[in-house]
Amino acid sequence: MPTIYLLNGPNLNLLGKRQPEIYGSETLEDVERLCRAALPEGWDLRALQSNWEGQLIDWIHEARDHAAGIVINPGAFTHTSVAILDALNAYEGPVIEIHISNVHKRESFRHHSYVSLRADGVIAGLGIEGYVAGVRRVCSTR
Ligand code: DHK
């Protein structure tokens, strides 16, 4: 069964509680529920969150053999992590990068993304709808 890896990075476990004026009031459970509802028949989702860079890298490695695509919000690692970029470069399927907020409207340090050097699509500023769009895109590109 084709499986999408939905990966969320640091602080996204607090979605719905932290800075709701920026990230909204919906939770990561809401994100997973909406993404599952968007899956075509016969697809599966593996939804994972970690505050640890190495854990995210291990899951990206796991995705090499198990994922039909990766939808990833790397949180602040977007702007700092060459290691996550390298891991994604070792993955061959579609990669969609998600940001809940419009990072380009925010501090300048959020304007650069290492992950965008690999991502096939980048979605920013659509709130949690961006994850659903990312999942739909992976399904339609297979
Ligand atoms: C989430 C974060 O935690 C920030 O570090 C990024 C991103 C933006 C988001 O909009 O989802 O800069």
pLDDT digits (tens, 9 = 90+) for 34-71: 999 999 999 999 999 999 999 999 999 999 999 999 99
Residue 89, SS3 per DSSP: helix
| Residue 29 half-sphere exposure toward CB, CA atoms < 13 A | 2
**Dihedral sign, CA of 94, 48, 64, 140?**
negative
Q: Indicate which residue of 5, 23, 114, 131 is catalytic.
A: 23
> Residue 133 in contact with residue 126, Cβ under 8 Å?
yes
- 30 assigned binding-site residue: no
Say which CATH architecture domain 3-140 belongs to: 3-Layer(aba) Sandwich (3.40)
> If you ran DSSP here, which 8-state letter would residue 1 be given?
-
Q: Is 99 among the residues known to form the active site?
A: yes
CA distances from 89 to 2, 64, 139 (A): 20, 10, 20
Q: Is 104 among the residues known to form the active site?
A: no
Average pLDDT over residues 12-24: 97
Q: Where are the domains of the chain?
A: 3-140
In short, whether 31's Cβ falls inside 6 Å of ligand 1 is no
How would residue 13 be classed by pLDDT, with cut points 50, 70 and 90? Answer: very high
pLDDT digits (tens, 9 = 90+) for 124-141: 999 999 999 999 999 999
pLDDT at site 142: 79
